[in-house]
Amino acid sequence: MTDRKDDKLWGGRFDRGPDKVFDEFQRSFSFDHRLLPFELAVNRAWTKALQGVGILTGEEVEQIHAALDRIDDRIAATPAWIAESDAEDLHHFTEKALVEELGPLAWKVHTGRSRNELVAADFRLFVMEAAASMQRRAAALVNALASQAEHYLGVPLAGMTHMQHAQPILLSHFLLAHAEAFSRDLARLAHAAESADACPMGSGALAGCSFPVDRQALARDLGFSRITANSLDAVSDRDFALDYLFALAGIATHLSRLAEDSVLFASQEFAYAILPDEYATGSSLMPQKKNPDSWELIRGKTGRITAALLSLLTTLKGLPSSYQRDLQEDKEPLFAAHDQVAAMLEIAAGAVSKTQYDTDRLRRVAADPALLTTELADALVRRGLPFRRAHDLAGLIFREAERQKRPWTELPLEDIRKIAPEVDAAALAECTLAASLARRNLPGGTGEEAVRAAIDLLKTRLSKRGATA
């Protein structure tokens, strides 16, 4: 046979072509062309595997590899080739391009394999690369937060719970709290890459390849460290994509918290942070406005990242075993989520690095004596009182101060002693901002020494990962 009736990958048993609208509907090339570099790599490895089982000669493999190189170059040189192609999907595109280059020899390339395993292999390679690049971006944000923590070391911040003044902390401690969250995201990304790292080639459409190809060699060739264990599972498993989307949703959720804090801190009410011009926009009406749109958009885009995870989970729910065409719906949400989170991380890292803090304002607000009321209870505990009793007395003292309309630290000592005779001048001296911070140098605490150690630890962890930006 030297000719075929059309260039389709599956036309033989059909009398009529597909309905026009349906045909448009089922095509995936408009988005899966993004996997072309991986598809070409899989073709290189697969043809070597076919040589191993005697389907192709060494000379044929050389010809095919040279053709794949030319296709690679042409893709890079002529973007319109992809835009204008009428290929159904990236596998069809590649086969057509090979036929154009090689004629009937190209028809041998698909021996023993299926698009089901091809698309799984391509998508796994994409996720491995994507997760690695996302780790670099997340690490850059962790670095930006750590650098700011280092720069502002010693500056206090009125720590809050329930958005109410709680206890003093260091601004650096706050920044490192965000850095910790993104460090966990690094681990999740690593897990997603690991879960993608298994080569499905040799699984066939579902039953495994009928030619005894060397699956280990195929995996090695493609940069996978292992092979998938079950051909039926391999053509339908998208857990690696779920893992990646979960990692992205985690990053987006953490970014939305950083965004919310940043929007609040830049507000006139807080006035802690000065928004960098580079990451703000103005108002078309109010000349004085500088709006934190970068953070608002980051916070806002979190919705679609979460939705991408839900979208794939919903697609996968209730699918029978084996490959189903539903699985084609896995790529668009993942590509979109990947692109958005990449941009979100880059912008967040830039905005964090360029944010300036108003340290006078931070110090003034952190000087609120209400933040030191727990210190008073603790001072009473150090004088032998049970904590619950000390808490009650400190509360009564705070209430008396409220009644007298002054900070509790400015109550006359005799008024304090009427409520709690155990309080003396030494106890009051224990209730300062500096003393409060200095008592919290235990690991993980907000004392300056502890925070300095935390910065060092974070940097060591980052460089061990080899993920420093």
Under the rule (CB under 6 A), what is the footprint of ligand ARG? 28, 32, 89, 115-116, 119, 325, 327-328
> Residue 144 or residue 235: which is nearer to ligand ARG going by CB?
235
Buried b (16+ CB within 10 A) or exposed e, 290-309: eebebbebbbebbeebbbbb
C-beta separation of 126 from 38 below 8 A: yes
Query: What's the min distance (Å) between Cβ of 323 and ligand ARG?
Result: 6
Query: What's the min distance (Å) between Cβ of 10 and ligand ARG?
Result: 8
Contacts of 48 by beta carbon, 8 Å cutoff, 6+ apart: 61, 217, 218, 221
> Residue 328 or residue 432: which is nearer to ligand ARG going by CB?
328
Kindly give the residue spans of alpha helices, DSSP state H, lying in 11-89.
20-26, 29-32, 36-52, 58-77, 79-83
C-beta separation of 156 from 362 below 8 A: yes
Give the CA dihedral 157, 161, 167, 170, nearest 10 degrees: -30
Query: What's the min distance (Å) between Cβ of 123 and ligand ARG?
Result: 8
Q: Quick check: is 283 catalytic?
A: yes
> How far is it, in rounded angstroms, from Cα 291 to Cα 141?
22
> How far is it, in rounded angstroms, from Cα 127 to Cα 124?
5
C-beta separation of 84 from 24 below 8 A: no
> How far is it, in rounded angstroms, from Cα 90 to Cα 40?
10
> How far is it, in rounded angstroms, from Cα 264 to Cα 273?
9
Instruction: Specify burial of residue 184 (Cβ count, 10 A radius: 0-12, 13-18, 19+).
Output: middle
> Residue 89 or residue 375: which is nearer to ligand ARG going by CB?
89
Q: Cα separations (Å) of 214 from 23, 39, 111, 198, 357? A: 36, 19, 14, 14, 59
**Which residue in 133, 210, 283, 321 is the catalytic one?**
283
Query: What's the min distance (Å) between Cβ of 76 and ligand ARG?
Result: 23
Query: What's the min distance (Å) between Cβ of 282 and ligand ARG?
Result: 44
> Residue 209 or residue 344: which is nearer to ligand ARG going by CB?
209
> Residue 36 or residue 119: which is nearer to ligand ARG going by CB?
119
> Residue 16 or residue 325: which is nearer to ligand ARG going by CB?
325
Query: What's the min distance (Å) between Cβ of 33 and ligand ARG?
Result: 11
Q: Quick check: is 338 catalytic?
A: no
Give the CA dihedral 266, 267, 269, 273, nearest 10 degrees: 10
Among all residues, which ones are annotated catalytic? 162, 283
